[in-house]
Amino acid sequence: MESPPHKLNVGRDEDRISALTDDLLVGILERLDLREAVRASALSSRWRHLPYRLSRLHLEVGHFQGATPLEVMDAFTGAAQRLLSLVVPLAEGEGGSAAIIPIKALVLSFYMSPPHLSAIGRTVEDAVSYGKTEYLEFSISLPRGSNASLLAEFGQQFMSFSQAYPVAFWWLTRLTLKNLVFGHSDVTELINACNKLKHLTLSSCRLVDQRSALRIDTPCSGLRRLDCIRFRCERIELISVPELRTVLCCSRHYENPPVRFGDVPQLCHVNLGYLAKVSQAPFMLSECLSRSSRNLSKLNLNFFSQTIWIQPEQPKRLTAIFRNLTDMYLFGIFPECDLSWTLFILEAAPALRNFKSLDSAVHSCRCG
């Protein structure tokens, strides 16, 4: 129910915006950057309580100051705890009890700082406890200057964090992790624990044993997009991810083929960027793509102006996979390259509308 207008005698020179209802004012503030919203609210006692009524919040650790990463995280965590308080103070002059404002959308971008994880976990679990949260995103990275020898320890601390606060991770819809080291089954366990997860990004992460494959077997997950950017392992094997629609895989450290797609019947878009070694033999797309991927419509391949790592093959081996392919883009093809090897793709894709070869690798990590 819309809150009543705040009682003001609005004259010619008075602030007519402040005479609007709280609901309208909150709607205005939610269209601003959070820092701007807080600054605006500090200008008037009429607006001072409004940041606590915001149902959509984005807290970015880079917006906080401190002499050390710990001090920055102290400021970040304190702000999160204040803004995510469910009991909201009323404006001056308002009667009745304080209101409860459920969080509908929450984005938290913060450092992997073990002293602060429990406070963040408890605060988020309190915020989602009313069951009204539609979107929850974590973006977690390491502070600058972190000791590279401790990356595996940070990875273990992150997994402990996810296990200690299962309610928070159950509500996650998007998760971005940077510079963490994972055990053999950590990623699968993480996806299975995040019941609502739709988009997972693993950037500059790796497995403890980089000579092993990252295997993802999550037949009950709702994951729709997976981005693996500079993920260091032997290869990525998507054994079963039935709701997966978009995959971005961009790295230099894979064996052939760099990705193997298993049960991914909803797969639509694939963006594969790979810098092959001269000693590596090319592979056939049919070794990589799955016959269950009958909905594949867009395929981007990036060669980084180096070795062509695709082996031409009989078109009929790809016809079932490429029957709905409409867009094919080849990036990082040097100008002198003979493109006759691509003819098998044209023959295997009867619905193809756009086929382009570009010598630039600018778009290597874009997919959509």
Per-residue pLDDT of the chain in tens (368 residues, 90 and over written 9):
445 554 444 444 346 666 666 656 655 555 555 555 555 555 555 555 555 566 678 889 998 999 999 999 999 999 899 888 754 444 444 444 455 667 888 999 999 999 999 999 999 999 898 888 999 999 999 998 888 788 889 999 999 999 999 999 999 999 999 999 999 999 999 999 999 999 999 999 999 998 999 999 999 999 999 999 999 999 999 999 999 999 999 987 677 888 999 999 999 999 999 888 777 889 999 999 988 888 999 999 999 888 889 999 999 999 999 999 999 999 988 777 778 889 999 999 999 999 998 875 544 454 44
Q: Which of 261, 252, 259, 247 has the alpha carbon at shortest distance from 232?
A: 252
Structure tokens at 124: 């988020």
Does residue 173 contact residue 151 with C-beta atoms inside 8 Å? no
Domain regions of the chain by residue span? 20-54, 67-85+101-204, 209-222+229-367
CA distances from 295 to 219, 299, 310 (A): 18, 11, 21
| CA 184 from centre of chain | 21
Interacting residues of 81 by C-beta distance below 8 A, sequence separation 6+: 119, 123
Q: How far apart are CA 326 and CA 348, in angstroms?
A: 11
Classify 255 as helix, strand or coil: coil
CA distances from 327 to 228, 300, 368 (A): 22, 8, 11
Does residue 333 contact residue 305 with C-beta atoms inside 8 Å? yes
What phi and psi, each to the nearest 5 degrees, are found at residue 123?
Answer: -65, -45
The C-alpha torsion from 240 through 241 and 244 to 248, rounded to 10°, is: -70
Q: How far apart are CA 52 and CA 238, in angstroms?
A: 42
Half-sphere exposure of 122 (CA within 13 A, CB side): 8
Classify 39 as helix, strand or coil: helix
| Adjacent-strand bridge partners of 276 | none
Q: Is the peptide bond before 257 cis (omega within 30 degrees of 0)?
A: yes
